[in-house]
Chains A and B, each alone.
Chain A
């Protein structure tokens, strides 16, 4: 078991190396760099720009830049953001935490609603409950994140029940800690719901179909034949066997959340990794872009890894080696 965990973590290294290398390559393929724009400014002498470029090794070929970056990363230094004029690490940690918070709560909302709803729909197959859930899922799957985010913003603005964007109010730093907590939560609710919505429908439909499959299984009939109550039949025999494919999509779901977070964070002004990546990308803040991509990849890989561990924990047929 532990050797498996170790091996999986070891597998992450070449993956992250590959992803970072590819990102560097793609960034270098686009013309110009962060300082190209500065050259247009008559107040900044070309010498200064050249000095700054040299300082960040931007005058070197991309693979040299990559090795400088890698050398620093090994030492725990993720480079310097040219746009923010601060070390990338301090920038990313806060943003990563925000994205993690957003994704985590979206995950809890999506799964917390989808699983009971899916079970409910499957057990009451073809009833009006099932139909209502299907309609809900259809709408949820069809409405794009972008539109939903905009609708949420409009909703927040129209009702005033929720703050319009951001992760905290301007007076956050002056609030007592209990109110600080509430302030964060208040800002989190709407983006988390929007982010959860698109995932929720898919998970619910999957839960429903998986449970319907196992409810038809012979061992479920066998459990009924022995006189087990229907609630136990569903929980102990059907549900536990239906959960496997869901644990697998749990890993994917994390990926979907992270990419969904890119859109939602940008529209709803949530200061997360997705928004940072986008800003850094447009500013050609190359080291920051690579850092962001590597962090997002790391989150994704860890998510899949957690899903695999859950699968092994829940299913006796799966042994990790």
Chain B
């Protein structure tokens, strides 16, 4: 049985237009998303800003109320839990936030921040045990115990993110939603944090849903990767396969944007025309068709099914697998 099973999850936010109008329209931030995570596995989730990644992550841990669908954790439906049961179950799933500055209470010492989680779920029975546990947790994330009495503002971004990780680890969760945990950090620090997350996973067998907008980062840590566009999953495959052989044209465009070390590389950057359409009125047919370089007539009318295009490789595209042909030797276009 999968650790986490998300079935047809939808999160729709009502849009208010004015003082007197009733709400008729909805932002479909997450629209009919299904996937599963195995124990100890990392599932990557990529997509551009505003595509619904963060909302999806938060809906899973009920920080945002799902509109429809089920989230099964160890077979229990998280969407149906309430009050104290939900609060008690929160031990099993934790979240690491993107902003290491905003996610730590500035008035609490590191000890209080990490210790609070222990107190909520009554995980230690005595003061010395609590102390010992906090020291252990700090050590696990590479912080010295002498920092326990300091306040968040005395730390760097990377150190703060380590505190956030220690806080999440304190309750020994089975699943951690990593909501862009490194995108606010310096590149040199990013690698440290990612390696830390990977080491912790190996030691403790925690599963991650790793959200990022950078495919290179996600590929580095994930076994499988999902690509999200306008609230929908457009492609899912093993990390290696998705980089080597992307099927959906959107994924192909994302991958072409990963910088390469090799200056002689012949790879062309695929530049998508236009902006992401409004999630209030997503385009009919394939939601990607207005920006798709290979769209055909049926893409405008028919919603593509999410189908298995190769073994364990799923994509929602009528033309999955068609490689985008760029004009030969184009004048070097600047990135839009």
Contact surface of A with B, Cβ cutoff 8 Å = 217-219, 221-229, 237, 240-241, 315-317
Contact = CB atoms under 8 A, between A and B. Distances in A.
A229 B121 CA distance: 11
Contacts, number: 64
A317 B97 contact: no
Contact residues of A: prevailing secondary structure = helix
Given A316-B151, A317-B151, A317-B153, A226 B171 contact: yes
Contact of B97 (A222, A240, A316): A222
A227 B107 contact: no
A216 to B, nearest CB: 10
A316 B113 CA distance: 14
A218 B97 contact: yes
Given A219-B102, A227-B121, A317-B151, 6 more contacts: A218-B97, A219-B103, A221-B97, A222-B164, A224-B63, A240-B107
A78 B63 CA distance: 64
Contacts of A229: 87
Given A227-B88, A241-B106, A316-B107, A222 B95 contact: yes
B102 A218 contact: yes
B116 A218 contact: no
Nearest to B118: A226
B107 A226 contact: no
A65 to B, nearest CB: 52
A224 B109 CA distance: 18
B307 interface: no
Q: Please list the 9 inter-chain residue pairs (A to B) with the smallest Cβ-Cβ separation, ordered nearest first.
A: A227-B90, A218-B102, A227-B87, A218-B103, A219-B105, A226-B117, A225-B95, A222-B103, A227-B120
B87 A222 contact: no
Contacts of A225: 61, 63, 90, 94-95
8 contacts: A221-B58, A222-B97, A222-B105, A227-B86, A227-B171, A229-B87, A317-B106, A317-B107
A152 B121 CA distance: 54
A229 B94 CA distance: 16
A222 B116 CA distance: 11
A219 B116 contact: no
A221 B109 CA distance: 18
Contact of A217 (B61, B102, B120): B102
B65 interface: no
A228 B120 contact: yes
Interface size class of B (residues with CB under 8 A): 20 to 34
Contact of A226 (B102, B109, B120, B151): B120
A240 B107 CA distance: 8
User: Which of B105, B106, B121, B167 has the most CB atoms of chain A within a 10 A radius of its CB?
Assistant: B105
B105 A227 contact: no
A177 to B, nearest CB: 45
Contacts of A223: 105, 116
Contacts of B167: 222, 226
Contact of A227 (B91, B104, B109, B153): B91
Nearest to B88: A227
B172 interface: no
Interface string B75-108: 0000000000011111100110101001111110
Nearest to A229: B87
Contacts of A226: 90, 94, 116-117, 120, 167, 171
Interface in B87-145: 87-91, 94-95, 97, 99, 102-107, 109, 116-117, 120-121
A224 B63 CA distance: 8
Contacts of A315: 107
A87 to B, nearest CB: 50
Select the residue from A218, A226, A229, A316 with max chain B CB neighbours within 10 A.
Answer: A226
A217 B117 CA distance: 18
A316 B164 CA distance: 19
Contacts of B99: 218
Contacts of A219: 102-106
Contacts of B63: 221, 224-225
B261 to A, nearest CB: 34
Nearest to B95: A225
Most B-side CB within 10 Å, residue of A221, A227, A316: A227
B55 to A, nearest CB: 13
A316 B63 CA distance: 29
Given A222-B97, A225-B61, A226-B120, A237 B105 contact: yes
A53 B61 CA distance: 82
A241 B103 CA distance: 13
Contacts of B102: 217-219
Pick the most buried of B89, B91, B120: most chain A CB atoms within 10 A of its CB. Answer: B120
B116 A228 contact: yes
Interface string B269-285: 00000000000000000
Nearest to B64: A221
A229 B86 CA distance: 10
Contacts of B91: 227
Contacts of B105: 219, 222-223, 237, 241
A240 B108 CA distance: 10
| B89, B94, B116 pick with most chain A CB within 10 angstroms | B116
Contacts of B89: 227
Nearest to A316: B151
Contacts of A316: 106-107, 109, 151
A220 to B, nearest CB: 8
A240 to B, nearest CB: 5
Contacts of A221: 58, 63, 97, 103
